[in-house]
Chain A
Amino acid sequence: GAGVSQTPSNKVTEKGKYVELRCDPISGHTALYWYRQSLGQGPEFLIYFQGTGAADDSGLPNDRFFAVRPEGSVSTLKIQRTERGDSAVYLCASRGPNTEAFFGQGTRLTVV
């Protein structure tokens, strides 16, 4: 497709489990961002990739959160030992050289 694709669209997991969230950016976009959005709030920055490297990971809340982008395209956000407080919508966005960021539809993560 032409837009940013995120899978799965919904994920329910048990407390303590490991989850992976995937983002397929728009083809040719070198910049990729992950945000987290809690109910009633705006998106909160987690990490930004330029190509394969993390240019800014200052928003990752703790070391249970990790993200990779090994080939400079698809990115995976990984959360270890999930907690109920991790429940949120995880948004991915990508940007080309002369555009602002385009967001995907998000993955709604529920930790029970």
Chain B
Amino acid sequence: GQQLNQSPQSMFIQEGEDVSMNCTSSSIFNTWLWYKQDPGEGPVLLIALYKAGELTSNGRLTAQFGITRKDSFLNISASIPSDVGIYFCAGQLTHAGKSTFGDGTTLTVKP
């Protein structure tokens, strides 16, 4: 089946630094999604991408849908302590269908 490789697995950064993480797939997706999950909570959607090449921002977050449809990246600028958590990428083949998730990037921000 489809697999998503998400990297890095974990990151330790200083407050104020920028962060970049990415996701690659062995096959194409038509929608890419980025989620954040805090302990004991469900994933919360950060950004949704629907078109190859699309670049979308949500506050300090920017994500891009790769031209090949097989990858996506998420950038966080000027990190703050509340950015701590696990970030997941997810791909969908059809808009209404299931999501395939990566295994997450754990972000730690040191004040």
Residues of chain A at the chain B interface (Cβ within 8 Å):
4, 31, 33, 35, 40-45, 48, 50, 55-56, 58-59, 91, 93, 95, 100-106
Q: Given contact pairs A59-B98, A95-B96, A102-B45, enumerate 18 new A-B contacts (beta carbons under 8 Å).
A: A4-B42, A31-B96, A33-B98, A33-B99, A40-B104, A42-B4, A42-B90, A42-B102, A43-B88, A43-B101, A45-B99, A48-B98, A100-B33, A100-B45, A101-B99, A103-B43, A103-B44, A104-B42
Number of residues from B at the complex interface, CB < 8 A: 21
Q: Which 5 A-B pairs have the closest CB atoms?
A: A103-B42, A42-B101, A45-B98, A43-B101, A42-B103
For the A-B complex, the count of residue pairs with Cβ-Cβ distances under 8 Å equals 52
28 A-B interface contacts by CB (under 8 A): A33-B98, A35-B101, A40-B103, A40-B104, A41-B103, A41-B104, A42-B4, A42-B88, A42-B101, A43-B88, A45-B98, A45-B100, A48-B98, A55-B96, A56-B97, A59-B98, A95-B96, A100-B33, A100-B45, A101-B99, A102-B45, A103-B42, A103-B43, A103-B44, A105-B40, A105-B41, A106-B41, A106-B42
B74 within 8 A of partner (CB): no
